Structure formats: structure tokens, C-alpha cells
């Protein structure tokens, strides 16, 4: 399966549309959303192109292809609009024997790693993309943000397929990739 992983949409429909165009063009099978879907949050400016209702409509149309995690800006009222579950703090996806631990990053993060065994730790929250191997042979991937990248970074998301994890720019260009090998 080919997974597209995205975090920190923060209500911005135009950037989500670019990611969904890539999703369709690249024939992805599953969209993994790691929180902060509709609300831009009190510490952020109002994003250009904010359209939470448009995002709800767009994502609900593909609800059977989505795994979503709760971010610190997601609320029960958001869940009332979305037709797929978003309130879990994490999900464990197992693909060909490789375990991907998906979380937003405000509960579990690099300083507070989960005890549940995993090969790849994927999170968002900080809006700073990252992709690197760890000392224990695992991988850490921060998806950054498609709406509010920080630290001089550009908007980013990632894909995972058959042991290959890639971080992409909004236009789909690969910034960095790691091949974990076949399992």
C-alpha cells in the first residue's frame, strides 16, 4: 500500500487540495492525517484560504481512505462534522511487518516516546519537518505543516510505500527520502 501522511492542515483548503491532487496523481491508497485538521489555533494567524466546511466536504467524500489522529487544535465539535474518527491520540499501522506509530506530537513526541513497539515514529505538531534514522535502528519523521511551516521551512508532507519514506514539498518534489529495506 501507498500511504500519504500529512499534519497540521489548520483549516486551509488550498494547501490541502494540492496534497489531495498529489494523492490522486500518485495513486495513494490511504490518507493518514496526524491532527490539527480544521482549526487554525489561537497562536497562529488566520490562514489564507481558510475553509473548514470545504475541508469537511472534501475529506468526508474520501472517508473510507482516511486514518486520522487528534491534534491539540482538534475538538469534539470537529468530530461532529467529520465522518471518520479523529479523536485517538495515536494509531499503529502495520504494513508488510513494519510498524508505523502515528501521532500528532503533543502527547507522544521525541521526548515522550510511546512504549508500544514501532519501527517508524511519525508525528507533526512542531511544524518542523524531519526525517532521520535513530540510534536504535528506527526512523523518526516529523511531517512539518502544509499551512504553517516554521523555522524557515516550506510546506511539507510525506509518503510511505514498501519501506521507502519520503518527505515532499507541496508540488510533490521529494526533499529527502530514507529506504528502510524490505521486511
Q: Which of 75, 34, 82, 33 minimizes the C-alpha distance to 56?
A: 82
Give the model's pLDDT for residue 166.
Answer: 98
117-167 confidence digits (pLDDT tens): 999 999 999 999 999 999 988 999 999 999 999 999 999 999 999 999 999
Rounded to two decimals, what is the model's pTM?
0.97
Q: What is the mean pLDDT of the chain?
A: 96
Q: Which of 133, 119, 153, 166 minimizes the C-alpha distance to 22?
A: 166
Residue 182 has pLDDT above 80, yes or no: no
171's CB contacts (< 8 A; 6+ apart) are 18
Give the model's pLDDT for residue 44.
Answer: 81
45-71 confidence digits (pLDDT tens): 888 999 999 999 999 999 999 999 999
Domains annotated on the chain, with CATH: 2-179 (3.60.21.10)
- Report d(CA 20, CA 60) in Å as an integer: 13
17-35 confidence digits (pLDDT tens): 999 999 999 999 999 999 9
Amino acid at each position: 500500500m501507498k500511504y500519504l501522511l500529512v499534519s497540521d492542515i489548520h483549516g486551509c483548503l488550498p494547501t490541502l487540495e494540492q496534497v489531495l491532487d498529489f494523492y490522486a496523481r500518485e495513486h495513494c491508497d490511504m490518507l493518514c492525517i496526524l491532527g490539527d485538521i480544521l482549526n487554525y489555533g489561537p497562536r497562529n494567524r488566520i490562514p489564507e484560504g481558510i475553509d473548514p466546511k470545504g475541508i469537511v466536504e472534501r475529506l468526508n467524500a474520501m472517508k473510507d481512505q482516511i486514518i486520522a489522529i487528534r491534534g491539540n487544535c482538534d475538538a469534539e465539535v470537529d468530530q461532529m462534522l467529520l465522518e471518520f474518527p479523529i479523536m485517538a491520540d495515536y494509531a499503529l499501522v502495520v504494513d508488510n511487518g513494519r510498524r508505523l506509530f502515528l501521532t500528532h506530537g503533543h502527547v507522544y513526541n521525541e521526548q515522550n516516546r510511546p512504549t508500544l513497539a514501532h519501527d517508524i515514529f511519525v508525528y507533526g505538531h512542531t511544524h518542523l519537518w524531519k526525517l532521520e534514522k535513530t540510534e536504535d535502528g528506527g526512523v523518526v519523521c516529523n511531517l512539518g505543516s502544509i499551512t504553517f511551516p516554521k523555522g524557515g521551512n516550506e510546506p511539507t508532507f510525506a509518503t510511505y510505500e514498501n519501506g521507502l519514506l519520503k518527505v515532499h514539498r507541496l508540488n510533490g518534489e521529494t526533499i529527502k527520502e530514507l529506504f528502510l529495506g524490505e521486511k
